[in-house]
Amino acid sequence: MTQERISAEIADLHEAYLKEGVVRHHSARDFAPYRSSALRHPHRPLVVLDDPDAAELTGPVFGVTDVTALDADLTRRHHGEPLGERITITGRVLDRSGRPVRGQLVEVWQANASGRYAHQRDDHPAPLDPNFTGVGRCLTDDEGRYAFTTIKPGAYPWRNHLNAWRPAHIHFSLFGTAFAQRLITQMYFPGDPLFPYDPIFNSVLDERARGRLIAAYDHDLSVPEWSLGYRWDIVLDGPSATWTES
């Protein structure tokens, strides 16, 4: 499947969405250009549990004594300095009314500056960085704020179609008061030329919702001679909710 065909499919689906006239804040579960979504989305109605509380396993068990400041700095996890552009990312986790969500466990994982994950299933022939594993975590403060220091990830091929490349992105995971309360999403960087070609990004049919996935460069957050700063808020639910992965 060529990139031109993928781009045409994306354009056709977006046009159909606009004609539909129905507000949809999240992606379609079976967005055809995103090939694996057709294989993994639910095909049957949800099962109603007799005891809903049984699914709400208490957790996560992390507390302020378990998550340290070092966990949020992905550039200081090893003895040497990782390669790439150092960045700082901060934002607030908010509920649908704009109120801060305190004590939220936020986890991130990402590719390195060459676009490769430190994972045995990643066989992309790009160099691994022995000083960067690409994982981190923190707890939101009383204002719902999180902050990470990391390396800007590189783009990488993902075999969804011919010449398919993912835009630079960082995966975010947020836990609520139980393990069943989890949100997984992706943060992108402004001005990425791969946006028009990426079926995952474009599976979010609402243009405004797609825009909310892109972090804003904030020069006031940049640290002189150290890192560039980005700001990205996460809204857990409601009309302005951040898109979540299917």
State the catalytic residues. Answer: 117, 156, 166, 169, 171
Q: How far apart are CA 243 and CA 213, in angstroms?
A: 7
Structure tokens at 177: 């008061």
CA distances from 230 to 25, 41, 72, 222, 245 (A): 24, 32, 15, 8, 22
> Tokens 């960087």 correspond to what residue?
189
**DSSP symbols for 66-114:** TS-GGGGBTTSSSSSPPSS-EEEEEEEEE-TTS-B-TT-EEEEE---TT
* 4 burial level (CB within 10 Å; 0-12, 13-18, 19+): exposed
> What are the backbone dihedrals phi and psi of residue 33, each rounded to the nearest 5 degrees, phi first?
-65, -25
> Tokens 């006239």 correspond to what residue?
21
Query: Helix/strand/coil (H, E, C) string of 105-116?
Result: EEEEECCCCCCC
> What are the backbone dihedrals phi and psi of residue 166, each rounded to the nearest 5 degrees, phi first?
-85, 135
